[in-house]
Amino acid sequence: MCGIIGYTTRKNNSVEVALSGLKNLEYRGYDSSGIAFFDGEKMDIIKSKGKISNLDDKLSNFNTNSCCAIAHTRWATHGEPNETNAHPHQVGKVTLVHNGIIENYSVLKDELLKNGYTFKSETDTEVAAAYLDYCYSKTQDKLQALVDACKAFRGSYAFDVVYEDEPTTIYATRKDSPLVIGYSHDGNFAASDISAILNYTNKYSLIEEGEFVKVTKDIVTFYNKDLHEIEKKSETATWDAAQYQKNGYEHFMLKEIYEQPKAISDIFNRYYTNCSYKDLDFSKFDKIHIVACGSAMHASLVGKYLLQTYGKIPVMVEIASEYRYSEELITPSTLLIVVSQSGETADTLAALRLAKEKGAYVVGIVNAVGSTIAREVDKCIYTYAGPEIAVATTKGYTSQVAVFSTLALMAMEQKGLLDKNIEKLIKNDMLNIEEKINSVISNREKYLEIANQIYKHNDLFFIGRGIDSTVCMEGSLKLKEISYMHSESYSAGELKHGTISLIDKGTPVISIATDEKLFEKTVSNIKETKARGSFSIFVTTENHIDNCDEFADEVIILPKATDFTEPILTVIALQLVAYETAKLRGCDIDKPRNLAKSVTVE
């Protein structure tokens, strides 16, 4: 989703710095970019469709010495990705960049048209710029104009604004979209997240909803919604710039896959040594709802399986954008668990706010430290997996699953369901996870061999039962996200109720059967596809490989583990199959088309 950065400095390098910040925001997903900079007389605006390198190329034709710049990566919502729709937008005395959506922009546009404003683009943001200019023309006070405009805006926003008559000051505010202020030796920043500024500083402050900020090269002043000055603490980021580099890996996705052994074993080690959420008492709640989007929702399904099967607690998992339609089920005795890597996903945030309104207790499983969701939940369980740059999540997902495994274990303990032998088995499993993940990752040749068999196909199916069917969903999503192959995930027993009609000679079917109890039934379903000519790729554990030649053309063998870690091992194999397949198809693995890492609009 859109990323913004503004920088005002004592030097003349604001364009270079803002551009390097934009590059660090690329991971959020975008389809055009732009920058406005003060050239000594006025704000120049340069925009470009496609990659930031196109913008960079264009800028090389200009004198970009400048002490103040605001820049933007746009992920199109209102109007196609082109230069006219790209930000910054300039209307009258106002130049601004925006992350979010102004939902009532057409009503405001009508009002502005009546007042003589004209528009070049199809965007809600140009309307926001015009409306701010309109407010400024009335009050002649820059902060007050921003307050007045924001009162009229419905929707979400993080704005960096520069006024023509004060071209080296950035005014900023936010609602439902992230924004941080950064402090460096040479100047100050207002950016979507810390990654944008980490090359220059790790000192930052978070802006709360409805606060306003005036950023000059020397000083940053914070205001509350009534424009009273407020004090802000400065914080120090623990993530450093090196974590935003590929460090020799061909892609961020591959680097992040290789970071999983440590990320997951850290979670389990922390659980056994210094667990911050052991005080969560499940007996206080009559039900658990888990709400998330995308891969985080898939991790939630693993969580549901573990909490229900082992913790004997009924759990409902809901896609965040649909949760509001279950409103009547939310009560003060509901435990809502929201799951989000970025901590900024708009639908998940809306779900958490709704549940809080209804009196529910909300726990977050979040990776991005200090993110909005992390700050708004009653209790935050951080996954501490470090920054994830590739749009397709890998360590983000597995670390969420790992946290759920520990929660299920806690539920068993609290309910007296954990006998000594099982406890020992699970502990041993969790504390040896690093070695097992490494052995899955080391099977790269096999994943490449499979990728070579499937990459020319247009359709592919994943099937499994029980906990394996939840992993199928994530394996399938990973493949379609980065390779653009059509892939569907089906519960193995359900395939025959319609979708099996799509299985033809050579159609690849990836089946997962790691669960002892369900093994035979899944094998029967695989045979049903094989009888229709499927190319069968079988994913199973080392104790299950006898006689699988009968129904498998390829086999991925995983180490045997308990249900508390097996989904992690399985999905990592599937991540690598997706990775190798996307590579063979020549796809842009880290930045797949149309996708955004941080989805800050509903």
CB 508 within 8 A of CB 454: yes
Q: How far is the CB of 171 from ligand G6P (least distance, A)?
A: 28
Q: Hey, what are 255's tokens?
A: 């680097």
The residue behind tokens 């202020």 is 181
Find the residue with minimal CB distance to ligand G6P: 294
Residue 595 near ligand G6P by CB under 6 A: yes
Q: How far is the CB of 200 from ligand G6P (least distance, A)?
A: 25
Q: Pick the piece of the chain touching ligand G6P (CB under 6 A) from 136-144, 334-342, 444-452, 559-567.
A: 334-342
CA angle 424, 428, 429 (to 5 degrees): 115
Report the C-alpha gap between 595 and 602 in whole angstroms: 14
Out of 5, 576, 577, 599, point to the residue binding ligand G6P (CB under 6 A): 599
Q: Pick the piece of the chain touching ligand G6P (CB under 6 A) from 130-138, 353-361, 414-422, 594-602.
A: 594-602
Helix (H, G, I), strand (E, B) or coil at 419: coil
Report the C-alpha gap between 152 and 146 in whole angstroms: 10
Using alpha carbons, select from 494, 531, 489, 493 the residue that is nearest to residue 510: 489
Q: Hey, what are 220's tokens?
A: 């940053």
Using CB under 6 A, count the residues that bind ligand G6P.
Answer: 15
Instruction: Name residues whose C-beta falls within 8 Å of residue 546's C-beta, 6 or more positions apart in sequence.
Output: none
Report the C-alpha gap between 105 and 89 in whole angstroms: 15
Nearer to ligand G6P, 66 or 345 (CB): 345
Q: How far is the CB of 429 from ligand G6P (least distance, A)?
A: 25
Instruction: Name residues whose C-beta falls within 8 Å of residue 379's C-beta, 6 or more positions apart in sequence.
Output: 277, 280, 361, 362, 363, 364
Nearer to ligand G6P, 344 or 468 (CB): 344
Q: How far is the CB of 30 from ligand G6P (least distance, A)?
A: 13
Nearer to ligand G6P, 28 or 203 (CB): 28
Nearer to ligand G6P, 213 or 346 (CB): 346
Q: Hey, what are 476's tokens?
A: 């399938």
Q: How far is the CB of 571 from ligand G6P (least distance, A)?
A: 13
Q: How far is the CB of 241 from ligand G6P (least distance, A)?
A: 21
Report the C-alpha gap between 492 and 518 in whole angstroms: 10
Q: How far is the CB of 90 from ligand G6P (least distance, A)?
A: 31
Q: Tell me the per-residue interface mask from 337 to 376 with ligand G6P, x by CB under 6 A, - otherwise.
A: ---xxx--x--x----------------------------
Q: Tell me the per-residue interface mask from 290 to 309 with ligand G6P, x by CB under 6 A, - otherwise.
A: ---xxxx-------------
Nearer to ligand G6P, 373 or 561 (CB): 373
The residue behind tokens 């996903």 is 345
Report the C-alpha gap between 184 and 576 in whole angstroms: 40
In the region spanning residues 383 to 422, those forming contacts with ligand G6P, defined by CB under 6 A, are 391-393
- 34-60 as b/e, with b when 16 or more CB fall inside 10 Å? bbbbbeeeebbbbbbbebbeebbeebe
Q: How far is the CB of 264 from ligand G6P (least distance, A)?
A: 17
Q: How far is the CB of 366 from ligand G6P (least distance, A)?
A: 8
Q: Pick the piece of the chain touching ligand G6P (CB under 6 A) from 229-237, 288-296, 449-457, 583-591.
A: 288-296
Residue 173 near ligand G6P by CB under 6 A: no
Residue 489 near ligand G6P by CB under 6 A: no
Q: How far is the CB of 195 from ligand G6P (least distance, A)?
A: 14
Please give the DSSP secondary-structure letter assigned to residue 341. S
Q: Tell me the per-residue interface mask from 207 to 246 with ligand G6P, x by CB under 6 A, - otherwise.
A: ----------------------------------------
Residue 540 near ligand G6P by CB under 6 A: no
135 tagged catalytic: no
Nearer to ligand G6P, 126 or 388 (CB): 388
Report the C-alpha gap between 537 and 229 in whole angstroms: 63
Nearer to ligand G6P, 372 or 511 (CB): 372
Q: Hey, what are 382's tokens?
A: 């951080």
CB 551 within 8 A of CB 523: yes
The catalytically annotated residue of 2, 135, 150, 587 is 2
Report the C-alpha gap between 358 and 2 in whole angstroms: 31
Beta strand 287-292 with 334-340 is parallel
Q: Hey, what are 540's tokens?
A: 């199973």
Nearer to ligand G6P, 67 or 599 (CB): 599
Nearer to ligand G6P, 145 or 291 (CB): 291
Please give the DSSP secondary-structure letter assigned to residue 410. H
Written as one letter, the residue type at 513 is A
In the region spanning residues 129 to 168, those forming contacts with ligand G6P, defined by CB under 6 A, are none
Nearer to ligand G6P, 489 or 534 (CB): 489
Q: Pick the piece of the chain touching ligand G6P (CB under 6 A) from 63-71, 335-343, 554-562, 579-587.
A: 335-343
Beta strand 187-191 with 3-9 is antiparallel
2 tagged catalytic: yes
Report the C-alpha gap between 196 and 183 in whole angstroms: 12
Please give the DSSP secondary-structure letter assigned to residue 482. H
Name the CA radius of gyration of the chain, rounded.
25
Residue 597 near ligand G6P by CB under 6 A: yes
Helices (H) and strands (E) in the chain, counts: 18, 25
Which residues contribute to the site for ligand G6P (CB under 6 A)? 293-296, 340-342, 345, 348, 391-393, 595, 597, 599
Which residues are the active-site residues?
Answer: 2, 597
